[in-house]
Structure 1
Amino acid sequence: MKKVVKLTALSLALALTSSMAAAAENIAFINAGYLFQNHPDREAIAKKLDSEFKGTADKLAANKKKIDAKIAALQKEAPKLRAADIKKREDEINGLVKAHEEQVGKFQAETQKVENDERAKLLGSIQTATNNIAKEKGYTYVIDANSVVYAVEGKDITEDVLKAISANKAPAAK
């Protein structure tokens, strides 16, 4: 009987302690997609990337047009040409196509790497601002809004984080 009373008391104490610990959690949420889309640096980075890669993209597009023109010319002239001439021009075009595809692949890899680096910078600033707001307001967890099923009013700190990002950006812009 003594063991049963001790076990019950211990179970009750554990239950009360765990419910008190759960009550101590302070959880907020952010809309990470909104923060990324409205990040103050996003548009400037997009313009920078566009200007940085526009020249190469234009050259690749012009090169593609030249290849397409050669293919069209071969198709038009094929009935008048000997088989050996057709084969020679096809080989030339295939070489141009292969070289073009290699250039496009390198270009895409390079742009993807730079875009990923810039995206990581934006996400890093969102993470830093979120951490600062969470510490300032005493939140123990901050989760993405897409994971939230229900939340009470006042737990969405998205706008606070966006303001913190903008505030951190202002001194650097001067």
Structure 2
Amino acid sequence: MKNVLKVTALSLALAFTATAAQAEENIAFINAGYLFQNHPDRQAVADKLDAEFKPQADKLEASKKNIDDKIAAERKKIDAKVAELQKDAKNPKQRPSELQKREADIQKQQATAEEEINKLVTEHDKAAQEFQANYEKRQMEERTKLLESIQTATNKVAKDKKYTLVLDANAVVFGDGKDITEEVLKAIPKQAK
């Protein structure tokens, strides 16, 4: 009987302790994606990156246009020479050896042009890859700064409101807590500036 009474008392004590512990938990939620999309500095950062990389992007675009123009010009030259050769081939006074020599010259010119264009394309592709890598690196640096400011603002709001746990709303299936996303969003400018 004493053992049963001890077990019952212990069970009741554990139940009250668990209930009290749950009552002390103060849980809140934030929507991190929403905070990032609506971050007060997000557009300024995007504009800053655009301004920083615009000269390089314009240079790459001009390089691409130059390559396209060179391809079109070389194709036009080759097509004109081929058409002239075909026209001369119909003339019975033309010697076959002369026609073969001109055809070989056209093929040589075409191969040289292709080699030059391939070199330009390779250089352009290398520059484009470097540009992309640099842009992604800078974008990640700026994104990290924005996320750090969100984290700082979340920590400040959580401490001020005495929340013991703050979760991302997208990671929780069900929860009984307060959504503090807007409060955190309002706290961000004070942290980010």
TM-score (norm. length: structure 1):
0.85
Q: Which residue of 1 aligns with 2:73?
A: 73
Moved more, 12-21 or 102-111: 12-21
- Summarize deviations over 1:135-169 as a string: whole Å, max 9, x none: 111111111121244456x8111111111112335
Question: Aligned equivalents of 1:105 and 1:112: distance in 2?
Answer: 11
- Partner amino acid, structure 2, of 1:137: K
- Summarize deviations over 1:101-151 as a string: whole Å, max 9, x none: 110111111111111111111110110010010011111111112124445
Structure 1 residue 53 displacement after superposition = 0.7
Moved more, 72-81 or 123-132: 72-81
Identity of aligned residues (%): 60
Q: Which residue of 2 aligns with 1:128?
A: 152
Q: Which residue of 2 aligns with 1:164?
A: 187
Moved more, 158-167 or 67-76: 67-76
Q: 1:94 to 1:4 in 2, by over 3 A?
A: farther
Q: Which residue of 1 aligns with 2:117?
A: 93
Structure 1 residue 77 displacement after superposition = 3.2
Matches within 5 A, 1:4-153: 6-7=6-7, 9-79=9-79, 80=81, 82-150=106-174
- Summarize deviations over 1:64-121 as a string: whole Å, max 9, x none: 0111122223333334362111111111111111110110111111111111111111
The answer as to whether partners of 2:152 and 2:191 remain within 8 angstroms in 1 is no
Instruction: Note the aligned Cα RMSD (angstroms).
Output: 2.3
Partner-residue secondary structure (3-state), 1:62: helix
Q: 1:59 to 1:11 in 2, by over 3 A?
A: same
- Partner amino acid, structure 2, of 1:111: Y
Structure 2 stretches of 5 or more lacking a match?
A: 82-104
User: Would you say how many aligned residue pairs link Structure 1 and Structure 2?
Assistant: 169
State which structure, 1 or 2, has the greater radius of gyration over its C-alpha atoms: 2
Question: Aligned equivalents of 1:14 and 1:75: distance in 2?
Answer: 86
Question: Aligned equivalents of 1:2 and 1:68: distance in 2?
Answer: 95
- Partner amino acid, structure 1, of 2:171: S
